[in-house]
Structure 1
Amino acid sequence: MQDGNKQSGVSRRTVLAGMGAAAAMSLAPHGARAAGGKEAPQLAALVKDGKLPPLAERLPPKPMVVTPLEKVGTYGGTLRRGLRGSSDHNGILRLVGNQGLVRWNMDFTEVLPNLAERWEVSDDATQFTFHLIPGIRWSDGHPFTADDVVFAIEDVVKNTELYSATPAQLAVAGKPVVVEKIDDSTVKFTFAAANALYLENLATPLGQHPTLFAKHYCMKFLPKYNAGLDAEVKAAGVSSWTELFRAKCGDIEIPSRWSNAEKPVLDPWVVKEPYSGGATRVVMERNPFFWQVDTEGNQLPYIDELNFGISQDVESLMLNVISGKIDIQERHISVLANKPTLSQNMKKGDYRLLSLVPSAAQQCQIYLNITHKDPAIRKMFADKSFRQALSLGMNRQEIIDIVYFGQSEPYQAGPRPTHPWYNEKLGRQFTEFNPEQANSMLDKIGLDKKGSNGIRLRPDGQPVFFSIDVIPTLYPDLVDTLELVKSHWAAIGVDIKVNTIERALYYTRGDDNAHDAAVWPGPGGLDPMLDPRDFFAFHPQGSRYAIPWTLWYTSNGAKGEEPPESQKQRFKLFDEARSTADLEKRGAFMKQLFDITAEEFETIGVCLAVGGFGIIRNNLRNVPEKEPDSWSWPNPGPALPQQFTFTS
């Protein structure tokens, strides 16, 4: 067995670039709780009244010790943060749901211990043995053990009625992982082939499954363990046991994760007022069994309560920020057009600005649905010359100047220019504005006839028209970008509709392969292996240019639609890259993959991702003022909000 740096639990370093100084924070694997450790006054009162076990019985014998960023904090206060509508569940996840087996460090470069205090990795990267911190308890006081981890994967995630396919992080070579208990505090994951990236994937939000489902609670909603489940399904007024399970136990990325106050969790705070239909806020209160302490032995979290106010529009959220009603926020307000307003109102709102370092590659990636259900549109989108012509017909510099205040540069896709795997062709090809060449290319592929309105006609006589799905509440800048693209493409005879829709419908249309095209910020700038959705059909929801191809890949050919050979080549290269711990060999595989992606030109990018920002109230401390901005590093969660504290 190869020891994963057993003393510190640190994994092999991920190939990332662009982050600066190391965080002023550390996390000890574990250590004896310091003498004189304290708890929040509210919990002490419950202990005194006999309603809660003493602190020593609620903490592990050797709890994980967190070094506060600035200073040991004080108990108390309500942290206020904003959500947008009824489908902003990831806004909660980013602050609260960071309790996996492992986690990222502040610089987004190393994997650190979390619920697993240490681990070993086999030399061939097929076996990962995790040693859990002994004595941790779920929020209802029930012990957290290896049985919970085995249950979460073997009984839940590998249940084909709950999951149509095993999540990509837990399957290699078309086969799901096998998880087995060694003893109460030790669990072994065995993959069918090398999975050298597993620790890094485990540190991301999509790696949370092993610690998401408490066996003693969630087993009640599985037919395997509950013979009377049909009656409970009927009593609950739902259509199936799977629907009941989701309502009670949730999943990583669905609102119901935060809608059941009874569900045991391992998070610093637990649901008090749930995220459910019609709710105007979500309230969470301190978990009395949380398993971390500070350097003086004080149980975390410091902050008593979280209050997520639900706004229906960004304007309301901005007003709350400016008037001092929000304590930390970057989600939804990190739009360049908002920055002058937020800068001008710092004194009024009593806040300071937070800087976000983008890990994304692309500010706006356009995905034409190459697997479209309409044969005529499918044929048009599948023509590489059509996609290249659209790219040349886009005035990127105008978009950058107007929408992004000149703070970017034309870019297609791929690792950012600072990354060691940067591929110039992938990033820069067809980014010049050349409408003459675009018109010539469109003429040559048989779109040389136009209607009276100047819009080109397809061979079947229909106008060259399609809609592009975009979520205005989540990415208003992408709406502005598309409006400019619409005018650029109209000038070369292509008509589009900027289709502004709600997030739930956006995903539904994608899942059903019912969209013409869609936009999303393109990931993979600093973490190209963790989110390669733009490089090949990898993500069943994210690779929106060919979702049926992703289903074929993730199901090992059992579902979806068989992709062309160039996709299969990239599947193989990626599988080879993620099967080796040798960074040089891994890089060689990925560079070959990028070369193929550049040649195929499946997506159309606009400009390099722009750095974001947010606000932190001046009396909220222990908060880093510069942090990565990434779904893989779900800011601000890896900064450990349980050690955030208020000053008087």
Structure 2
Amino acid sequence: MSFMRRVLRPVSALAICAALTPIGAWAYEEAPALAEQVAAGTLPPVDQRLPAQPEVVTPLESVGTYGGKLRRMLGGSNDHNSILRVVSPQGLTRWKPDFSGVVPNVAESWESSADGSEFTFHLREGMKWSDGEPFTADDIMFFVDDLLNNKEFYPNAPARFVVGGETMQAEKIDDHTIKLKFAAPYGTFLTELATPLAQEPVLWAKHYCMQYHPKYNPDIQALVDATEAVEDWTGLYRLNCGEVEAPNRWSNPERPTLDPWVVTGDGYSAGSTKVVMERNPYFWQVDTAGNQLPYIDTLEMGVAQDNQAMVLEAVAGNIDIQRRKISNLANKPVFAENAEKGGYKILNMINSNSNVMAIHFNQTHKDPVMREVIRNKDVRIALSLGIDRDEIIDIVYQGQGEPWQIGPRPDHVLYNEQLGRQYTEYDPDRANELLDAAGLAERDADGYRLLPDGRRFTFNVNYTGIEQPDWGDSLEIIKEQWKEIGVELNSSSVERSIYYSRGEANEHDFMVWGAPGGLDPTLSPRDVLSVHPQASWFSIPWVRWYISGGTEGEEPSEAMKKRLELYEAYKAEADQEKALDIFRQIHQIAADELEVIGISLAPNLVGVVNKKLRNVPDAIPASWMYPDPGPTLPQTYYYAE
């Protein structure tokens, strides 16, 4: 499959246009419910709601029919990304369905400068927000001038919009043409725009959100004072207009969007038991027969409090397509057993991850004694050698997988054998020798090693057990294995918000999470680079140093500073082969440092899909950077009779 071998970089630095099938004199068609509103005079005719040149999408299997409801499940009150995955981030660019490159999306086409520092986007004339107001270059200018470059709104601008230490700038050419400019070449910008975290340029409608901005509303303080739970205009803005990755993005039904479906009712909030979204009557895509998309009328997402409840809903046939939170391979037998009765098929999800569980030893530990011990590479080697990965794979993962650390999968062009396979053998004798030599030879009455200050060498670890019970099982096995080398491990399951708050506060010995970067190493480098404030758990203060340009956080190690320099060079390099060579250097330094270790190469995942649902691929990449199933265009899914 091409997405297992491709390199995630721009398709071309030249002008790239969407493949448009001229509709010409065809009559556009629309959903019956919208036609009724047109007849009643409450909605403009379909040709007045579409752009002058809507994007024409070729369905995977066949032109569909209108109607129906797509059912999914959300996990509690903080599962906003499950909504994003099916609605799909409607950015300027998007991924091809096979994850092989990017194509125009909200933008009709683009050109880039010869050095890759400027990108001119051509927007679709006549395109509208979900409330019928025009979408133009002014909306992007609003983001760049009034939000991105506003220190109150962004004290530190998102790194994806900062190059050479300077924030992205914009120049309006005309209402439908805009130039985005950087201080230096940015070879990965077009692929960055296709990821789920780079939709901001087209996320906010100026005509609506300007009411929450002091530049446009002189009475903004009165609104702040009248609103509970906000302290300033930035909080008020985010409450009403949402953020790119937060529950509040889906909490306000009045906020205009460019999405195929728009939230209704009370939206998604802490007390939600169900989230309902209805088709956007102004959505800007049509199929090859001129039918306005989406085909499906309604998205209905129930809210469950644990993953097992979702599994039961899937088995009962109450989920139409989903792998999120039910993709554990342990569920595959029960899915297979109940597929006929539940009216679904098993959905094959190609795992883009590198490892099922990565262990991020905290290089920036607040305790100076623990920090010194953790920063000793021989200690980290010993801890890795003290894990019997084969035992964990057999017991927890039903024998599916192989001992693995982190990094690109073996069939990827950036595969680094050392990064993936070093120190994965089980060798407790060698581990004990290394720990003795590291000055940790003294033990207490229970056989546990003592730190230099006399305390027991103990790791206290939190994990998100509701979402990933396999991590708890793996940690329990590691606890017994590390006991043999004199290291104590205590683990406890916590709710996701607690997990994140402790990690962001740098109050952890080590953190565990799934390791990305198996198929998307250049897009998800958070385990080898200190770049992600909610995922590079081995070095959160280093991340803050990088994001702030050295004004906050803690100066990284020399090895990390070198990698961050290389990363900046990689992002600027327009030549694909040279860029790959730069990333190979990053991986080699990470392999030599061994800051993060893993358990098993991530096996493919499972999901369920209604047997009657059409235009769904047989296999879908499972990745956050390819927020599945969004790039397969759920707006083209439909139900067969």
In the alignment, which residue of structure 1 is the partner of 2:239? 247
Residue 447 in structure 1 maps to residue 440 in structure 2: yes
Note the alpha carbon deviations across 1:133-185, whole angstroms, 9 max, x for none.
11110000110011111212321233322333211211112211112211111
User: Following the alignment from structure 2 to structure 1, what is the Cα–Cα distance between the partners of residues 144 and 504?
Assistant: 24
Letter in 1 for 2:587: F
TM-score (norm 1): 0.95
Question: Aligned-pair RMSD on alpha carbons?
Answer: 1.5
User: 1:40 matched to which residue of 2?
Assistant: 31
Determine which of 53, 72, 83 is the counterpart of 2:74. 83
Instruction: Name the aligned partner's letter for residue 492 of structure 1.
Output: I
TM-superposed CA distance for 1:626, in Å, is 0.4
How many equivalent pairs are there? 628
Instruction: Please tell me whether the aligned partners of residues 157 and 209 of structure 1 are also in contact (alpha carbons under 8 angstroms).
Output: no
How big is the shift at 1:433?
A: 0.3
Structure 2 letter corresponding to 1:269: W
Residues 8 and 101 in structure 2, CA contact (< 8 A), matched pair in contact too: no
Match of 2:12 in 1: none
Matching residue of 1:341: 334
Moved more, 593-602 or 258-267: 593-602
Q: 1:600 aligns with which of 563, 578, 593?
A: 593
Determine the structure 2 residue equivalent to 1:639: 632
Partner residue of 1:308? Answer: 301
For 1:221, which of 212, 215, 229 is the aligned residue?
212
Aligned mates of 1:169, 1:474 — CA distance in 2: 28
Deviation string 1:345-395 (CA, Å, 9 cap, x unpaired) is: 110111011111111111111011111112122122111111111000000
Query: 1:282 and 2:237 equivalent?
Result: no
CA distance in 2: counterparts of 1:253 and 1:467, whole angstroms: 29
SS in 1 for 2:264: strand
Corresponding residue SS for 1:378: helix
Q: Is the contact made by 2:8 and 2:522 (CA closer than 8 Å) also made in structure 1?
A: no
| Residue equivalent to 1:531 | 524
* Secondary structure class of the residue paired with 1:147: helix
* Partner residue, 1:514: 507
For residue 292 of structure 1, what is the amino acid of its counterpart?
Q
Q: Is the Cα contact below 8 Å between 1:33 and 1:62 reproduced in 2? A: no
Which structure 1 residue ranges, 5 or more long, are not aligned?
Answer: 1-12, 18-25
Task: Letter of the 1:173 partner, please give it.
Answer: G
Residue matched to 2:55: 64
For residues 172 and 261 of structure 1, the distance between their equivalents in structure 2, rounded to whole angstroms, comes to 35
CA apart distance, 1:431? 0.5
Q: 1:643 offset after TM fit, Å?
A: 0.6
Give the deviation of 1:419 after TM superposition: 1.0
Secondary structure of residue in 1 paired with 2:564: helix
Tell me, what secondary structure is at the counterpart of 2:140?
A: helix
Find the aligned partners of 2:586 and 2:312 in 1 and give their Cα distance.
46
Q: Are the counterparts in 2 of residues 33 and 297 from structure 1 also a CA contact under 8 Å?
A: no
Structure 1 residue 219 displacement after superposition: 1.1
- 2:526 maps to 1:495: no
Aligned mate of 2:83, from 82, 92, 97: 92
Q: Is the 8 A contact 1:34 1:296 kept in 2?
A: no
Contact persistence 1:29–1:118 (CA under 8 A): no
Report whether the alignment pairs 1:575 with 2:568: yes
CA offset at residue 417 of structure 1?
0.7
Task: Check if 1:475 corresponds to 2:487.
Answer: no
Q: Distance in 1 between matches of 2:485 and 2:533?
A: 33
The CA distance in 2 between the partners of 1:510 and 1:397, in whole Å, is: 29
Q: CA deviation at 1:56?
A: 1.3
Aligned to 1:121: 112
Alignment counterpart, residue 410 of structure 1, candidates 385, 393, 403: 403
Measured after TM superposition, the shift of residue 499 of structure 1 is: 2.6
Residue 179 (structure 1) aligns with: 170
- Counterpart position of 2:13: none
- Of 615, 619, 638, the residue aligned with 2:612 is 619
Matched, 1:55 2:46: yes
| Identical counterparts, % of pairs | 51
Contact 1:31/1:64, CA 8 A, preserved across alignment: no
User: How far 1:446 moved relative to its partner?
Assistant: 1.4
Determine helix, strand or coil for the equivalent of 1:28: coil
Tell me, what secondary structure is at the counterpart of 1:233?
helix
Tell me, yes or no, if structure 1 residue 144 matches structure 2 residue 135.
Answer: yes
CA shift digits 1:473-512 (9 cap, x unpaired) = 2222222221211111122111112131111112211221
Q: Secondary structure at the match of 1:438?
A: helix
CA separation of 1:573 and 1:14: change in aligned 2, threshold 3 A: farther
Provide the rounded CA distance (Å) in 2 between the counterparts of 1:163 and 1:473.
Answer: 33
What SS is found at the alignment partner of 2:59? coil
Instruction: Report the secondary structure of 1:236's partner residue.
Output: coil
Q: C-alpha deviations, 1:507-529, integer Å up to 9, x for none?
A: 21122112221111111112211
Question: Which letter maps to 1:318?
Answer: V
**CA contact under 8 A between 1:362 and 1:609: conserved in structure 2?**
yes
Between the aligned partners of 2:634 and 2:356, the Cα distance in structure 1 is: 27
Q: Is the 8 A contact 1:116 1:130 kept in 2?
A: yes
Q: Using the alignment, how far apart are the partners of 1:135 and 1:597 within structure 2?
A: 49
Q: Distance in 1 between matches of 2:20 and 2:554?
A: 45
2:572 is paired with a residue whose SS is coil
Change (3 A) 1:255 1:578: same
Q: Deviations over 1:529-588 (max 9, x none)?
A: 111111121212111000111111122112111111111111111111221122221122
State the TM-score, normalizing by the size of structure 2.
0.96
Residues 1:30 and 1:176: Cα distance change in structure 2 (over 3 Å): farther
Q: 1:103 aligns with which of 86, 94, 97?
A: 94
Partners of 2:355 and 2:22 in 1: CA distance: 43
Q: Do residues 259 (structure 1) and 251 (structure 2) align?
A: yes
2:505 matches 1:505: no
- Equivalent position SS for 1:303: coil
Residues 454-477 of structure 1, C-alpha deviations (whole Å, 9 max, x = no match): 211111111111222211222222
**Contact persistence 2:139–2:204 (CA under 8 A):** yes
Secondary structure at 1:248 match in 2: helix
